């Protein structure tokens, strides 16, 4: 699939689904983790510009927000992910809490090159980033995973992490009993040979090797638990805090941990890092990937991956799915933008002479 100067490639949710069905969820997740590791490894802030995201939040007609996450590869494309967070969606509208689209623009002309689903892609790339952080910062022999929040994101958290760790047990907790009881069924596509056991938070935090928090806890209602004993080498992937005032982890635990944000500039505004003094915030994930040997000792200590979502991750997953679509001949080319035949005449399509004769002038 080549980008066309006039047309826009559309990859719909159905195309994305067909791609995943064709290649299989494990192949897609494994490839994504590999590609994302390379992107972190080679990330250079001089050549890839990623500002912190911006957006609108509101309480009416529903509590939620719409945000935009831009990226500019200098000399290349601009990519923007637009993401909506509406935690009432599942109960009220039978829609995912996170709805999203990804778009790419040609920097020679500004032309919209591509527009694609970002719902499944966001869930996949967030899981993949947590897997990368966990491989670098968690005990490699981790056997017990904990999940607080059993919504859509927790499924791909489990998927991605299970591709890199031989878990035997997964302890789960959600304030919504239906989310807890349906979780195992929702994970059946992962074909995992492990026990999934509902648990109290305290019991979970005390005993797991890796913990993922992916909740829609309200602003001002966190943290999800107060100070609890943990294994000395516990690694946490905290992905739910992604809004000012929204946090999942207690301050003391953060202060005792090596805290690695995906994107520091954003994490200090929206992530767990909001709670921390600057000196307590560790290096970003790209730095840890690029100097992984220096951070191996952290695997024996408390660590937190503070994920607010980074546009680099969106670029990686977008490029991967465009490549898949190209291979399968999927996607539709549409002329969305108005392209006048005369670049300097927006009314070129109005036939002046026939309009004059029609009116008998």
Ligand X SMILES: NC(=O)c1ccc[n+]([C@@H]2O[C@H](COP(=O)([O-])OP(=O)(O)OC[C@H]3O[C@@H](n4cnc5c(N)ncnc54)[C@H](O)[C@@H]3O)[C@@H](O)[C@H]2O)c1
**In the stretch 158-197, what mask flags binding to ligand X with x, by CB under 6 A?**
---------------xxxx--x------------------
- Strand-pairing partners, residue 81, are 69, 102
CB of 47 to ligand X, least distance (A): 23
Residue 314: count other Cβ atoms within 10 Å of its Cβ. Answer: 25
CA distance 241 to 262: 12
The CB-of-149 to ligand X minimum distance in angstroms stands at: 4
- Report if residue 103 touches ligand X, rule: CB under 6 A: no
Q: Does 151 bind ligand X (CB under 6 A)?
A: yes
Q: Is 220 left (phi over 0), alpha (psi -120 to 50) or beta?
A: left
The CB-of-298 to ligand X minimum distance in angstroms stands at 20
Give me the residues paired with residue 258 across strands.
Answer: 303
In the bound complex, which residue of the shown chain has the CB atom lying closest to ligand X? 151
**Residue numbers annotated as active site:** 242
Which of 9/16 has CB closer to ligand X? Answer: 16
Taking Cα atoms as reference points, which of 121, 194, 206, 175 lies closest to residue 184? 194
Among 142, 215, 274, 315, indicate the residue that binds ligand X (CB under 6 A). Answer: 215
- Specify which residues 242 forms β-bridges with: none
Q: Which CB sits closer to ligand X, 115 or 120?
A: 120
State yes or no: residue 134 binds ligand X (CB under 6 A): no
| Nearest CB to ligand X, comparing residues 53 and 163 | 53
Among candidates 60, 68, 114, 109, which has minimal Cα distance to 88? 60
The C-alpha atoms of residue 25 and residue 30 are separated, in whole angstroms, by 8
First to last CA, the chain: 50
Q: Which of 8, 37, 103, 122 binds ligand X (CB under 6 A)?
A: 122
Nearer to ligand X, 113 or 273 (CB): 273
**Smallest distance, Å, CB 177 to ligand X?**
9
Q: Which of 39, 71, 150, 325 binds ligand X (CB under 6 A)?
A: 150
Q: Which of 98, 171, 286, 298 binds ligand X (CB under 6 A)?
A: 98
* Inter-residue contact 91 to 274 (CB < 8 Å): no
Size of the site for ligand X (CB under 6 A): 30
| Residue 284 near ligand X by CB under 6 A | no
Distance CA 212, CA 248 (A): 10
Give every CB contact of residue 332 below 8 A, 6+ residues apart in sequence.
Answer: 9, 10, 12
- Closest separation between CB of residue 242 and ligand X, Å? 5
Candidate residues 214, 253, 254, 311; the one interacting with ligand X per rule CB under 6 A: 214
79 in contact with ligand X (CB under 6 A)? no
With CB under 6 A as the contact rule, the residue among 114, 149, 282, 284 that binds ligand X is: 149
DSSP 3-state of 19: helix
Q: Does the protein bind ligand X through residue 309 (CB under 6 A)?
A: yes
Residue with tokens 């660590």: 303
Angle between helices 13-23 and 25-42 (to 10 degrees): 100
CA nearest to 216, candidates 192, 248, 245, 189: 248
- Which spans of this chain sit near ligand X (rule: CB under 6 A)? 85, 87, 90, 97-98, 122, 126, 148-154, 173-176, 179, 214-217, 224, 239-240, 242, 307-309
């Amino acid at each position: 699939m080549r980008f066309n100067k006039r047309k826009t490639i559309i990859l719909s949710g159905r195309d994305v689904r067909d791609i995943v069905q064709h290649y299989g969820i494990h192949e897609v997740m494994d490839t994504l983790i590999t590609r994302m590791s390379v992107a972190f490894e080679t990330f250079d802030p001089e050549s890839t510009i990623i500002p912190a995201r911006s957006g609108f939040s509101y309480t009416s007609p529903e509590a939620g927000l719409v945000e935009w996450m831009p990226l500019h590869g200098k000399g290349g494309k601009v990519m923007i992910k637009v993401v909506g967070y509406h935690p009432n969606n599942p109960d009220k509208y039978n829609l995912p809490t996170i709805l999203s689209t990804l778009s790419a623009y040609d920097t020679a002309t500004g032309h919209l090159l591509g527009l694609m689903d970002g719902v499944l892609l966001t869930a996949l790339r967030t899981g993949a980033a947590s897997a990368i952080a966990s491989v670098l910062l968690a005990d490699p022999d981790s056997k017990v995973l904990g999940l607080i929040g059993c919504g859509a994101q927790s499924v791909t958290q489990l998927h991605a992490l299970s591709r890199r760790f031989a878990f035997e047990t997964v302890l789960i907790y959600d304030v919504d009993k239906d989310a807890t009881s349906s979780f195992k069924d929702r994970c059946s596509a992962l074909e995992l040979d492990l026990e999934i056991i509902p648990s109290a938070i305290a019991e979970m935090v005390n005993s797991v090797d890796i913990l993922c928090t992916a909740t829609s806890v309200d602003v001002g209602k966190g943290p999800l638990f107060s100070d609890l004993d943990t294994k000395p080498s516990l690694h946490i992937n905290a992905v739910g805090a992604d809004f000012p005032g929204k946090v999942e982890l207690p301050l003391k635990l953060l202060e005792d941990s090596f805290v690695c944000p995906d994107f520091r500039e954003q994490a200090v505004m929206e992530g767990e890092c909001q709670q921390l003094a600057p000196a307590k915030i560790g290096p970003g994930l790209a730095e840890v990937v690029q100097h992984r040997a220096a951070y191996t000792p952290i695997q024996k200590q408390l660590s937190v991956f503070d994920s607010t979502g980074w546009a680099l991750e969106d670029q990686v997953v977008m490029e991967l799915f465009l490549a898949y679509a190209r291979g399968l001949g999927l996607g539709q080319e549409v002329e969305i933008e108005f392209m006048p035949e005369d670049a300097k005449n927006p009314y070129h399509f109005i036939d002046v002479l026939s309009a004059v004769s029609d009116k008998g002038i």
